[in-house]
Structure 1
Amino acid sequence: MPLLIPEDLTEPGTHALVIGISAYQFLEGGDDVNPDNAHLGLKQLSSGARSASEFAGWLLDGHNMPELPLRSLRVLLAPAPGEVIHPAVQSLMKGYHAPTRANVEQAILDFMNATESHSENMAIIYVAGHGVQFTNEGAVLLLSDFGSPSHKRSKYAGAVDMTAIHKAMNYEGNANTQFWFLDLCRGLAPDTEDYDKLGGIFELDINRGEPTNTSPMFLSSSSGQTAYGRPNKVTLFNEALMVGLKEGYAAKTDKPNDPTWRVSTTSLIEYLPSAVEILATAHGRLQKVDVTGRVINSCLHECLSPPNVDLTVTICQTKNPSNYSAELSFRGNKIGHTLTSWPTKTKVRAGLYLVKVTTASPPDIRMDPYSIEPPASEMELPLQ
Structure 2
Amino acid sequence: MEDAPAGGTHALVVGVGRYPFLAGGEKEVPEHGGMGQLSSPPVSARAFADWLLREYAFAARPRASVALLLSEPGSDSYTNPRDGAIHTVPPATIENLVAAVKAWRVRAAGSAQNRLLFYFCGHGIAHGVDMALLAEDYNPADPNNPLDAALDFNGLRRGLRSSPAAEQLFFLDACRSTDAVLSDQDEHPYAGRVPLLYRRRPDDLPALRSTPYFATLAGERAFGRPEQVSLFTQALLRGLAGAGSTKSSGSWKVTTAQLAASIDDFMRRPVMAGTAALAQIPTANEVSDFEVHELAGDPRVPVYVSCLPPEDSVLADFSCRSRPAGGTVPADASPTLSRPCSEVDAEQEGDGEWYLELGPGDYHFEADLHDGRPRARDSFAWPPHLTVRLEAAP
TM (norm. structure 2) is 0.74
Q: CA deviation at 1:72?
A: 0.8
Q: 1:373 and 2:383 equivalent? A: yes
Contact map agreement 2:11 2:66 (CA 8 A) in 1: yes
Range moving further from structure 2, 191-200 or 233-242: 191-200
Aligned residue identity for 2:246: K
In structure 1, what is the equivalent of residue 217 of structure 2? Answer: 222
Q: 1:181 and 2:171 equivalent? A: yes
Provide the rounded CA distance (Å) in 2 between the counterparts of 1:241 and 1:90. 24
Contact map agreement 1:311 1:345 (CA 8 A) in 2: no
Contact map agreement 1:131 1:187 (CA 8 A) in 2: yes
Count of paired positions: 341
In structure 1, what is the equivalent of residue 244 of structure 2? Answer: 250
Provide the rounded CA distance (Å) in 1 between the counterparts of 2:303 and 2:185. 56
Contact map agreement 2:77 2:88 (CA 8 A) in 1: no
In structure 1, what is the equivalent of residue 376 of structure 2? Answer: none
Kindly report the root-mean-square deviation, in angstroms, between the aligned alpha carbons of the 2 structures: 3.8
Relative to structure 1, the CA distance from residue 83 to residue 227 in structure 2 (aligned partners, 3 Å threshold; closer, same or farther) is farther
In structure 2, what is the equivalent of residue 131 of structure 1? Answer: 124
Provide the rounded CA distance (Å) in 1 between the counterparts of 2:125 and 2:100. 21
Which among 141, 144, 149 is matched to residue 153 of structure 1?
144
In structure 1, what is the equivalent of residue 18 of structure 2? Answer: 23
SS at match of 2:99: helix
- Structure 2: state its 5+ residue gaps: 307-320, 339-356, 365-378
Q: Deviations over 1:242-290 (max 9, x none)?
A: 12223x1121123xxx641111111112211121232445446411112
SS at match of 2:130: coil
1:1-384 matched pairs, under 5 angstroms: 5-8=1-4, 10-33=5-28, 35=29, 37-80=30-73, 88=81, 94-134=87-127, 136-147=128-139, 151-171=142-162, 174-192=164-182, 194-196=184-186, 199=190, 201-203=192-194, 204-209=196-201, 212-246=207-241, 248-254=242-248, 259-278=250-269, 279-283=272-276, 285-293=278-286, 295-309=287-301, 328=323, 337-338=329-330, 348-350=358-360, 372-376=382-386, 378=388
SS at match of 1:7: coil
- Structure 1: state its 5+ residue gaps: 315-325, 356-368
Contact map agreement 1:180 1:218 (CA 8 A) in 2: yes
SS at match of 1:48: helix
In structure 2, what is the equivalent of residue 319 of structure 1? Answer: none
Q: CA deviation at 1:69?
A: 1.6
Aligned residue identity for 1:70: R
Q: Deviations over 1:90-134 (max 9, x none)?
A: 965634511111100010011111122111011111101000013
Identity %: 25
Provide the rounded CA distance (Å) in 2 between the counterparts of 1:309 and 1:373. 7
Provide the rounded CA distance (Å) in 1 between the counterparts of 2:304 and 2:227. 34
In structure 2, what is the equivalent of residue 363 of structure 1? Answer: none
Q: Deviations over 1:348-381 (max 9, x none)?
A: 5226x799xxxxxxxxxxxxx967223445499x
Relative to structure 1, the CA distance from residue 158 to residue 312 in structure 2 (aligned partners, 3 Å threshold; closer, same or farther) is closer
Relative to structure 1, the CA distance from residue 311 to residue 16 in structure 2 (aligned partners, 3 Å threshold; closer, same or farther) is closer
| Runs of 4+ with >6 A deviation | 82-87, 310-314, 343-347
Relative to structure 1, the CA distance from residue 200 to residue 227 in structure 2 (aligned partners, 3 Å threshold; closer, same or farther) is closer
Provide the rounded CA distance (Å) in 2 between the counterparts of 1:198 and 1:309. 44
Provide the rounded CA distance (Å) in 2 between the counterparts of 1:187 and 1:125. 21
Range moving further from structure 2, 38-47 or 104-113: 38-47
Relative to structure 1, the CA distance from residue 23 to residue 39 in structure 2 (aligned partners, 3 Å threshold; closer, same or farther) is closer
Contact map agreement 1:121 1:177 (CA 8 A) in 2: yes
Relative to structure 1, the CA distance from residue 371 to residue 159 in structure 2 (aligned partners, 3 Å threshold; closer, same or farther) is same
Q: CA deviation at 1:238?
A: 0.6
